Structure 1
Amino acid sequence: MADGATPANSAQGSGETRREFLYLTAGAMTVVGAAGALWPMIDSMNPSADVLALSSTEVDLSPIEEGQSVTITWRGKPVFIRRRTGAEINTAEETPLADLPDPQPDADRVEKPEWLILVGVCTHLGCVPLGQKTGESRGEFGGWFCPCHGSHYDTSGRIRKGPAPKNLEVPPYVFLTDSSIKIG
């Protein structure tokens, strides 16, 4: 005790150091315990394997003839794939944007003009428009017709008449080859 400290002061100093160490250790253990308890709940919010498997789908386009439409399911929604004819492409490209409630050029809605890929859900109330099957009404503009409230879509899936506020949605897709796409 050459530095002038008394035994009581020395014990008090080490007591405070010990108390601080215990507080710090208890706090660290609380954080580790809370993280360990919360991690399973946080991890459970990740999509399951079956949902991840549905997040994208590949489609072979080779069996689809010119002028034909097919419907596939992606993320529980119908997706319309239409191999457009030259006349449908010309009509879609020549439509004046001023005539459209939701103006969008045809070139912005397709990667290759002959292939139109759309989520087949009416943007008004979520109905599935008619026009995919042979003999179904395609509306006044040759695309799709939603009979629930009278929305008419053109050959580019753009709203032309009726209460729908927006064009049919174009899902994210890429061409893997000239005859296959990956949606999602």
Structure 2
Amino acid sequence: MSTTDTFPDESAAPSRRDFIHVLAAAAAIGGAGAVAWPLIDQLNPGADTLAFSSVEFDLSKVALGQEVTILWRKQPVFIRHRTAAEIAAAVADDDASMRDPATDASRHKPGHAEWLILIGVCTHLGCVPLFKQGRYDGWFCPCHGSVYDTAGRIRSGPAPKNLYLPDYVFETPTRIRIG
């Protein structure tokens, strides 16, 4: 054998010590994950919060011209089965001067003009307005005098915005899911 011949370097081959280092690193990462998971998981919403995140309601319980109030996320939600006269009055006022302009069509789901679903909290100071009160036969907040029409649009008084619309979908023609 000549002096220029080289043998493979034994230090490049994996050794028992390298295996122990990889095993220790994997155990450390697994341990860190096991400690971090409960801390991250506790940031998720609780079961009681998730239970209030959505609510289903059967619309067949509401007669024409009637309003029902249900709770969603600890807030009242008005579900109104509007008559043809109420819808016509709301559509007729689409061009009226309003603080927070909105058409009647923008206040309900397409094809469901008879159903008006609103969060029943006055946008002024958070009171609950009363139905069939006030000048426009809509809602009236007795605390400070805000008046809403039959589409939940602010018409007079100190409230700055229309009654808010919750996120909802029609699951069937007679059942909605809010949230």
The alpha carbon displacement at 1:158 in A equals: 0.8
2:92 to 91, 94, 103: 94
Counterpart for residue 170 of structure 1: 165
2:46 to 45, 48, 60: 48
Q: Deviations over 1:99-142 (max 9, x none)?
A: 111111111111111110001011111111111xxxxx521111
Tell me, in whole angstroms, the C-alpha distance in 2 between the residues paired with 1:64 and 1:144: 18
Structure 1 pair 25–124 and aligned structure 2 pair: CA distance change class (3 A): farther
Secondary structure of the corresponding residue to residue 99 of structure 1: coil
Tell me, in whole angstroms, the C-alpha distance in 2 between the residues paired with 1:138 and 1:41: 51
Amino acid at match of 1:101: R
Tell me, in whole angstroms, the C-alpha distance in 2 between the residues paired with 1:123 and 1:37: 45
Alignment of 1:24-173 (within 5 A): 33-111=31-109, 112-131=112-131, 138-173=133-168
The alpha carbon displacement at 1:63 in A equals: 2.3
- Extract unaligned runs of 5+ from structure 2: 13-18
* Aligned sequence identity (%): 57
Counterpart for residue 179 of structure 1: 174
Structure 1 pair 37–174 and aligned structure 2 pair: CA distance change class (3 A): same
Secondary structure of the corresponding residue to residue 116 of structure 2: strand
Tell me, in whole angstroms, the C-alpha distance in 2 between the residues paired with 1:26 and 1:120: 59
Q: Deviations over 1:6-38 (max 9, x none)?
A: xxxxxxx99xxxxxx999988876665444333
Secondary structure of the corresponding residue to residue 103 of structure 1: coil
Q: Deviations over 1:48-106 (max 9, x none)?
A: 22322221111111121111101011111110001111111011111144511111111
Secondary structure of the corresponding residue to residue 62 of structure 1: helix
Cα RMSD for the two superposed structures: 2.7
- Extract unaligned runs of 5+ from structure 1: 4-12, 15-20, 132-136
Tell me, in whole angstroms, the C-alpha distance in 1 between the residues paired with 2:32 and 2:135: 61
Alignment size in residue pairs: 171
TM-score when normalising by structure 2: 0.80
TM-score when normalising by structure 1: 0.78
Secondary structure of the corresponding residue to residue 138 of structure 2: strand
